[in-house]
Structure 1
Amino acid sequence: MSFQAIAGQAQAKRILQNGLRSGRLSHAYIFSGPSGSGRREMAKELAKALYCSELVDDSCGHCLNCRKVDHNNHPDVVWIEPDGASIKIDQIRELQKEFAYRATASQTKIYVLNEADRMTVQAANSLLKFLEEPLTDIIAVLITENGHALLPTIQSRAQWISFVPASPLEMSSILIEEGLSPILVSPAVHLAAGVHAARELVSAEWFAEARNTVLQLAKESLTKLPHAMITLQQKVFKSKLNEHIDILMDLWMLWLKDMVRLSSGHKENIVYIDQADWMSPLAFSREVGFWITGMERAVDVRKRIRFNANPQLTLEKWMIDLQGG
């Protein structure tokens, strides 16, 4: 893999490759953006490019150093993950000791803190001191969904690189070319921020069933409500889909957006294009406002469930409200 193998993120690639070419990489970066947008992959590619023996501003992928980074056994690259619910001060202290005493062939060392916003206050303060007074030539990469959750003093000492969701069209093209099912790729690329995350969704055993169940529930809730209640109980709450309520709600929201488009006379770019034959007449049977109201209620339902409302009762009530408009 190289930087170019990561879909999108042109600005992030440009910043990092310019730094590699000029030999003026920052001593610390904040990779901020949604999960699945390529932040981890970019951090690994930065490490590979830094040590690659063949290229200056990218990784060749086949030299010894590239292979070591790929297999997570390069002596100068350290990944730190949350220990339980947080990154603790002992982890930062251990990092400092490890880099202070490690003798290696290369001069520059790099460490990556995944989910850096989950550092305890003590760990963040210890890291701040490490950023201010590094013992050797060190590059830090802090990966987070929300860089603003980091201490302002850490933010001010690092170069911010924003990651944005990749284009659904671009992701779709890549995944379909790989041979993945277009009808599963279509919703997945609207739910994921990057190709890797979308690929994982499509490949998940439960995802196809989740898509089919949402379509069945959407149709039945508007035409055969008693059947919808049975489907909800049997196919969701008595199955493994019970563990993926968030994704089910996201898939349902995509369906409602399709209904808004269809009721407005726009059939192009709908997610569930293979279902248009029955969705179109149903969409035209209601005003556009009906579907928009459904979307607003879906947002409220998702919020209630995330704040620990009973999922089954909340969804049942929503389906009753949806039928009544």
Structure 2
Amino acid sequence: MSFQSITGQERVKRMLQNSLRTDKVSHAYIFTGAPGTGRRAMARAFAQAIYCKVLPDDACGECLDCRKVEHGNHPDLHWIVPDGASIKIDQIRELQKQFAYRASASNIKMYILEDADKLTVQAANSLLKFLEEPTSQVVAVLITDNGQALLPTIRSRSQWIPFLPMGRSSMKELLLQEGHPPVLVQAAVNLAAGPEAARELIQGNGFAELRNLVIQLARESLSRLPSAMLTAQQKLAKGEFSEQLPRFMDMLILWLKDMVQLKLGSREELIYTDQLDWMSQQALSYSMEHWIACLEQAVETQKRLRSHANPQLALEHILMRLKGV
């Protein structure tokens, strides 16, 4: 994987490639940003570029070292992920033990920590000592959704590399070029911070079905509320989509935003573009206050579900609000 194969994050690429060209690679980096912005792919591309024997500031993808990084068996690269819910001190101790040995021909050892904000206090303190006193030439990459959750002393000893969400229009254009269904692309780019995450959503299990379920429940709530209640119970509260209830709420909120837009008389940047006929009629049948109240209720329901509210009751409240009961 080369830098050029990663879509977006041009500023990050320039920073890392410039450090390689000028031989000023830092001993530690924090790759921080939302999931799906390409942090993991960038860390792998950076590792390949560091070890590549052919190109000075990128990965050729063909040399032995590039292939070893790609296949996860380069002897000087260590990739650490949480053991259960956290990264534990034993994992950091094992890393330090591995790094006590000499590096191979590259003379550089590298480690990548995924979900670095999940370090236990003991592991974080052990890592800090390792950052302060590396036993050899070491490069660290800490990947995190929330860089502020790391110890201030770790942050101060690392170069901060922010990964910014990709613009929706750019994401949409890219995903459409790849041949993904437009109606799914439109929803995914509004729920994901980067093309990688949007692609995972579209290709993931049940995304199209969840979108259809939003449409079905919205239709039923506005015309046959008892039927909507039954559908919600069978499919969402206790059924096949119960694990995907948070994603359903995300998509319902997108639908409600469309209804507010339609009530305002705007058809720009709508998500459910294939449902405009009936949605437009329903949008005009209720007041703006109604749609805003529904949107607020949906956001509140989302919060309550995160706090382990009863799914059936939470869904019934939002569906009744849609009907105006």
Q: Structure 1 length as normaliser, TM-score?
A: 0.96
Would the aligned equivalents of 1:89 and 1:126 in 2 still touch at CA under 8 Å? yes
CA deviation digits over 1:74-99, x for unaligned, max 9?
11111101111110111101101101
Farther off after superposition, 72-81 or 229-238: 229-238
Displacement of 1:23 in angstroms is 1.0
Aligned-partner residue type, residue 261 of structure 1: Q
Would the aligned equivalents of 1:8 and 1:167 in 2 still touch at CA under 8 Å? no
Displacement of 1:102 in angstroms is 4.2
Is 1:68 aligned with 2:68?
Answer: yes
CA separation in 1, counterparts of 2:34 and 2:103? 36
Would the aligned equivalents of 1:31 and 1:142 in 2 still touch at CA under 8 Å? yes
Farther off after superposition, 124-133 or 164-173: 164-173
Would the aligned equivalents of 1:201 and 1:207 in 2 still touch at CA under 8 Å? yes
SS of residue paired to 2:190: helix
2:59 aligned partner? 59
CA deviation digits over 1:116-136, x for unaligned, max 9?
011111100000000001111
Unaligned runs of 5+ in 1: none
Aligned-partner residue type, residue 23 of structure 2: G
CA separation in 2, counterparts of 1:253 and 1:63? 48
SS of residue paired to 1:322: helix
Farther off after superposition, 5-14 or 152-161: 5-14
CA separation in 2, counterparts of 1:57 and 1:276? 49
2:48 aligned partner? 48
1:287 aligned partner? 287
Displacement of 1:238 in angstroms is 4.4
Aligned-partner residue type, residue 73 of structure 1: N
CA separation in 2, counterparts of 1:259 and 1:5? 38
Displacement of 1:260 in angstroms is 1.5
CA-based RMSD of the aligned residues comes to 1.4
SS of residue paired to 1:94: helix
Would the aligned equivalents of 1:77 and 1:110 in 2 still touch at CA under 8 Å? yes
Farther off after superposition, 235-244 or 211-220: 235-244
SS of residue paired to 2:193: coil
Aligned-partner residue type, residue 135 of structure 2: L
CA separation in 1, counterparts of 2:13 and 2:102? 30
Give the share of equivalent positions with the same residue, in percent: 58
Aligned-partner residue type, residue 250 of structure 2: D
Aligned-partner residue type, residue 61 of structure 1: G
Within a 5 Å distance, the mapping from 1:20-169 to structure 2 comes to 20-169=20-169
1:203 aligned partner? 203
Would the aligned equivalents of 1:37 and 1:163 in 2 still touch at CA under 8 Å? yes
Is 1:248 aligned with 2:248?
Answer: yes
CA separation in 2, counterparts of 1:221 and 1:56? 61
SS of residue paired to 2:99: helix
Displacement of 1:53 in angstroms is 2.0
Would the aligned equivalents of 1:85 and 1:118 in 2 still touch at CA under 8 Å? yes
Displacement of 1:192 in angstroms is 1.5
Which stretches of structure 1, 4 residues or longer, exceed 3 Å deviation after superposition?
none
CA separation in 1, counterparts of 2:42 and 2:293? 40
Unaligned runs of 5+ in 2: none
CA separation in 2, counterparts of 1:44 and 1:108? 15
The size of the alignment, in residue pairs, is 325
2:2 aligned partner? 2
